[in-house]
């Protein structure tokens, strides 16, 4: 493989998609979702299984692939033994994977989803975008409501454009770009000596500034005919947008990949992405920007 293709590779289009195969009870729905997405994006699809290759597993996978409608040359299976995280990350790099699809687990039979240690680690370290499926179905549903984090970050423009690209191909019409206002930071900006009218003015100026930033980003995006809205919400970064996506019953939450260089406080206190990974509110797309 020509690894030079990875350098400054755009976040989209997703030309090669990989899906991790674990032979769990949710394997068939995950495969069906992966096929649906790869077909919509006209992408090649790799099936990756980390573990021993046996005739029984091959037969079972063939049956699952047939049930999922995978019956042409666009699908390729990779079998490899090794430590799961390092092996999956290595295979994604060697095969120039743009999107890795993983299944999430349901917790205590309620509408909360969590990741095992393998999926959580991959979500933090992957050098490609990662899609975490909370409720995959054999008859995949449309991604009707998409929520995108509009945090002020150089990567955000690529994340928002990727969300629009995904929305267009998956026939989504409703996209909301959300910017979180850190409540402690807002309190410091207002300060104790501010009068009530001054405090209201500061809040309005801050909200206007955030909306202006979002509109500037949107102006650089190819929206097409998507119904686009923007919203500012107050709360702890990560936690606030997780709650918003859950309350809105979003089908997909789209966020930036975590920054590789975390500061000292990030290592002590929970980082924003950790609130989302702890209890997924819906399907989660973590966009990795190589640019």
Buried residues in 104-120 as b, exposed as e (16+ CB within 10 A)? beeeeeeebbbbeebbb
> Rounded distance, CA 18 to CA 100, Å?
5
Q: Which range has highest mean pLDDT (64-68, 148-152, 229-233)?
A: 64-68
1-140 and 142-291, same CATH topology: yes
> Rounded distance, CA 100 to CA 128, Å?
7
Q: 65 pLDDT exceeds 50?
A: yes
- The pLDDT assigned to 269 comes to 46
Under 8 Å between Cβ of 80 and 50? yes
What does the pLDDT look like over 19-34, one tens digit per residue?
999 888 889 999 999 9
The domain ranges of the chain are: 1-140, 142-291
- The pLDDT assigned to 203 comes to 64
The CATH class of 1-140 is: alpha beta
* Listed range (80-94, 155-169, 182-196, 207-221) with the worst mean pLDDT: 182-196
In sequence order, the 6+-apart residues with CB closer than 8 A to the CB of 55 are: none
Q: What is the mean pLDDT of residues 34-40?
A: 95
- The pLDDT assigned to 290 comes to 74
- The pLDDT assigned to 39 comes to 95
Element (H, E) at 21: none
HSE of 34, CA atoms in CB hemisphere, 13 A: 33
Among 149, 189, 158, 156, residue whose Cα is nearest residue 272: 149
Token representation of residue 199: 């405090």
- The pLDDT assigned to 118 comes to 82
Question: What integer best gives the mean pLDDT of the chain?
Answer: 83
Sign of the torsion formed by the C-alpha atoms of 86, 9, 29 and 111: positive
- The pLDDT assigned to 260 comes to 63
Q: 55 pLDDT exceeds 80?
A: yes
Q: 10 pLDDT exceeds 50?
A: yes
Sign of the torsion formed by the C-alpha atoms of 130, 131, 132 and 138: negative
Please give the CATH number for the structural domain made up of 142-291.
3.40.50.620
Q: What is the mean pLDDT of residues 56-70?
A: 94
Q: What is the pTM of this model?
A: 0.85
**Lookup result for tokens 């923007």:** 230
What does the pLDDT look like over 218-232, one tens digit per residue?
776 767 778 888 888
What does the pLDDT look like over 240-262, one tens digit per residue?
999 999 999 999 999 999 876 54
Q: What is the mean pLDDT of residues 270-277?
A: 77
- The pLDDT assigned to 268 comes to 42
- For strands 113-114 and 105-106, give the pairing: antiparallel
What does the pLDDT look like over 104-129, one tens digit per residue?
765 544 445 556 678 888 988 899 99
> Rounded distance, CA 100 to CA 94, Å?
13
């Amino acid at each position: 493989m020509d690894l030079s293709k990875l350098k400054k590779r755009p976040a989209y289009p997703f030309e090669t998609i990989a899906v991790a195969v674990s032979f769990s009870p949710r394997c068939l729905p995950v495969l069906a979702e992966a096929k649906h997405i790869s077909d919509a994006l006209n992408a090649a699809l790799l099936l990756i299984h980390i573990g021993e290759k046996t005739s029984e597993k091959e037969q079972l996978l063939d049956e699952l692939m047939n049930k999922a409608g995978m019956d042409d040359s666009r699908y390729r299976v990779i079998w490899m033994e090794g430590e799961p995280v390092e092996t999956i990350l290595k295979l994604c790099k060697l095969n120039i994977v743009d999107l890795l699809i993983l299944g999430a687990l349901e917790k205590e039979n309620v509408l909360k989803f969590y990741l095992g240690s393998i999926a959580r680690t991959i979500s933090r370290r992957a050098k490609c975008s990662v899609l975490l499926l909370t409720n995959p179905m054999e008859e995949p549903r449309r991604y009707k409501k998409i929520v995108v984090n509009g945090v002020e970050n150089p990567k955000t423009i690529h994340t928002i454009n990727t969300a629009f690209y995904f929305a267009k191909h998956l026939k989504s019409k409703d996209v909301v770009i959300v910017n979180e206002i850190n409540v402690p930071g807002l309190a410091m900006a207002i300060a104790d000596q501010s009068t009530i009218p001054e405090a209201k003015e500061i809040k309005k100026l801050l909200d206007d500034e955030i909306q202006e930033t979002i509109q500037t980003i949107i102006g650089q995006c190819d929206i097409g005919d998507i119904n686009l809205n923007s919203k500012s919400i107050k709360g702890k970064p990560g936690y606030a947008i997780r709650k918003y996506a859950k309350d809105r019953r979003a089908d997909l939450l789209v966020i930036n990949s975590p920054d590789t260089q975390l500061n000292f406080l990030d290592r002590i206190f929970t980082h924003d992405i950790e609130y989302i990974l702890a209890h997924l509110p819906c399907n989660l797309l973590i966009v990795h920007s190589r640019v």
